Amino acid sequence: MIISLYLIGLCTCAFYLHFVYHNWKYLKFSWQEKNGFWYPILPLVGTTYVSLFSGSLNVISLLQWIDKTKGFPFNLWYVDKYMYITRDAKEVKTIVNHPKCFNKALIYDKFKFIFEHSIFLVSDETWKKQRKHFVTGFKSNILKNNVYVYYNHSCQMIEDLKSVEMPEDIFRYFDRYAIQSFFLGYTGISEYLSLFEMEKVGDIILDIQNLLKSLVVMPFLSPKVWLANFPAGRKATKLLKESKEIMKYIIAQKEKVLKENQEYCENDKDLLELCLTCDTDDSDDDKIIQQLDFIASAVSDTTGNAFAFIFVLLGMHQEIQEKVYEEVMEVVGDKDIAHQDLPNLKYTEAAVCETLRLFPIVPLIGRACGEDIDLGAKIIPKGSSCLVSILHLQRDPQYWPDPLKFDPSRFLPENQSKINPSSFMAFSAGPRDCLGKAQALAMMKVTVANVVRYFKITSKHKTIEELTLESCLTMKTKESPDCRFSARKEL
Ligand code: HEM
């Protein structure tokens, strides 16, 4: 017994000596910040056990706990790796624009089993190459064509909403809508796929995110072990297998279509084709599937969740909904919504941006510091991870007076000079920002304008605080919120 205690004591001392020796510069830096410094750093978990104090194991609960109890910036140890969590606009600007800060933070390793080879997670030169490759899929002529697709698709949603007064789970409902938009607008093979196949892809993405949300705050649990041995992991393995089969079918269909249409324009590749041709040295199916999984998820999970939030907010704020309605009737009336109408839907766009301010669909981003990062008053040591709580940045009263008020007028052109540009990061910023920002905004404006034109939206929720949030990579509410659609006129 004494010998065992002696050995445990010796191992603990050796662990801490080794830890302090290798992490001295990070410990010194975190001492300056104090917040979170005094939590004991434990083997296997570091200080991530603080997420247990928040009552629920997911990223949002952890960030909300930090905000309520300790404040930002906060020091966190992810096992033995140091993480600096901030919500300061000036610091965020430096971090996301720094040329040695575009690789993803360590915390993203948890997603490597799904997205390792995708543009989202690749590093250094591979990322630069992939970014250059994908940029061609976001040119303005492609956006113009897609507005037509988004409009026609939103007309189908209107038909659908006539029969379902309130979708049971509005996040799932709009995620399915958004994944259909992905196939319609970005793949060129939607006619070869059944609605079931399209929705299945969306459902799988949503279900895997749900299963993954606790794993992110459990650094000691490797995804491999989780996937093989835990009930949630085994379910995720099964879903991944199903998704792989569908993606293989999609790839085969696309290859067939490309072979049949040899004369396609080299410059106008859609996103699916860009996924297929991304890595010219290596056409490994698994890599293509990971790329495709990420792109499908980047389109559907984000815009889908954003639709759910904006319709709930419009349902809660009738006077704002009426302003959107009046603008749509004035700009478009009963006509089809077209690309040239978009610049004139200013209030609608402001309502979309204000929704994304209050509910940034990606609430946290993280970058690895490839060299010492000078933030003015402090220098973050090379090798740290910098995490940005976009949720708290965008709800900070320093930048947003009365931050929990849903007030689209903040984003009207005449008020934009009052906004600190680095305090709105819903699409991130800097060289690794969201590639689909213009597409997402167009899709949302067209759909919101069309739906509000035909439906009066209501919700029983009274305040934003009523909506309990949770997140893995993307954020949604814990329970599906109340949101109803009733026809404004005989359709
Ligand atoms: C409301 C909708 C959307 C939101 C809020 C959103 C937000 C974001 C954010 C925050 C990032 C991460 C940047 C970082 O880590 O710093 C990102 C990355 C990305 N998004 Fe979006 N996104 C949306 C829709 C879309 C759409 C529709 C597409 C494609 C058509 C898209 C394509 C991408 C791609 C390709 C990346 C990876 C960029 C890179 O690593 O270089 N996103 N998005």
In this predicted structure, what is the pLDDT of residue 165? 67
299 close to ligand 1 (CB < 6 Angstrom): yes
Residues 249 and 229: their CA atoms lie apart, in Å, by 29
Q: Report the pLDDT averaged over residues 447-462.
A: 96
- Position 4 scores a pLDDT of 79
Would you state the pLDDT for residue 264? 56
The residue whose C-alpha atom lies closest to atom 7 belonging to ligand 1 is 427
Which residues fall within 8 angstroms of residue 180, CB to CB, at 6 or more apart?
153, 190, 195, 198, 199, 202
Locate the ligand 1 atom nearest the alpha carbon of residue 426 and give its number: 5
DSSP sequence for 403-454: TTS--GGGGSGGGGGGS-GGG--TT--STTS-TTHHHHHHHHHHHHHHHHHH
* pLDDT tens per residue across span 372-390: 999 998 999 999 999 999 9
491, pLDDT greater than 60: no
Alpha-carbon span 464 to 484, nearest angstrom: 17
Collapsing DSSP to helix, strand or coil, 461 comes out as: coil
The whole-number average pLDDT for the span 330-337 is 96
Residue 490 is predicted with a pLDDT of 56
**pLDDT tens per residue across span 111-132:** 999 999 999 999 999 999 999 9
Q: What pLDDT sits at residue 280?
A: 62
Which residue lies with its CA nearest to atom 21 of ligand 1? 434
Report pLDDT for 140.
78
Segments making up each domain of the chain, as ranges: 22-487
User: What kind and span of H or E run contains 306?
Assistant: helix 285-316
Q: Is the CB of 435 under 6 A from ligand 1?
A: yes
Q: What's the pLDDT score for residue 175? A: 93
Query: Ligand 1, residues 275, 302, 388, 422: which to mutate, most atoms within 8 A of Cβ?
Result: 302
**Ligand 1 contacts CB of residue 362 (under 6 A):** yes
Helix axes 346-358 and 285-316, enclosed angle (nearest 10): 110
pLDDT in tens, 198-249: 888 888 988 888 888 888 888 889 999 999 999 999 999 999 999 999 999 9
Amino acid 265: pLDDT: 58
Residue 340 CA, ligand 1 centroid: distance in Å: 24
The fold of the 22-487 domain, in CATH, is Cytochrome p450 (1.10.630)
Ligand 1 atom with the smallest distance to the CA of 439 is 27
pLDDT at 45: 87
Quick one: average pLDDT of 139-143? 82
- Average pLDDT of the residues in 129-152: 90
Tokens of 353: 């941006």
Res. 284 pLDDT band, cuts 50 70 90: confident
Percent of the chain with pLDDT over 90: 70
> How much distance in Å is there from the Cα of 440 to the middle of ligand 1?
9
- Evaluate whether 84 touches 66 at the Cβ level (below 8 Å): no
Average pLDDT over residues 25-54: 86
CA 374 to ligand 1 centroid distance, Å: 27
CA of 434 relative to ligand 1 center, distance in Å: 4
Distance 303 CA to ligand 1 centre (A): 10
User: Quick check: CB of 439 below 6 Å from ligand 1?
Assistant: yes
60: amino acid identity, one letter: I
CA 206 / ligand 1 centre spacing (Å): 16
What is the CA(31)–ligand 1 centre distance, in A? 34
Q: What is the pLDDT of residue 282?
A: 62
**Predicted pLDDT of residue 10:** 83
What value does the mean pLDDT take over residues 166-175? 88
Over residues 74-100, mean pLDDT: 95
Q: Which amino acid is at 317?
A: H
Q: Supply the residue whose CA is at minimum distance from atom 35 of ligand 1.
A: 435
Which atom number of ligand 1 is nearest to the Cα of residue 433?
13
Q: Is the pLDDT of residue 38 over 90?
A: no
Burial annotation 191-209 (CB, 10 A radius, 16+ → b, else e): ebbeeeebbbbbbbbbbbb
pLDDT digits (tens, 9 = 90+) for 70-79: 999 999 999 8
Question: Which of 135, 353, 434 to mutate to test ligand 1, by most ligand atoms within 8 A of the CB atom?
Answer: 434
Binding residues for heme, as ranges, are 434
Q: To the nearest whole number, what is the mean pLDDT of the chain?
A: 91
Stretch 311-336: mean pLDDT: 97
pLDDT bucket at 145, cuts 50 / 70 / 90: confident
Reference 151, options 350, 486, 356, 448; nearest CA is: 448
The whole-number pLDDT of residue 281 equals 63
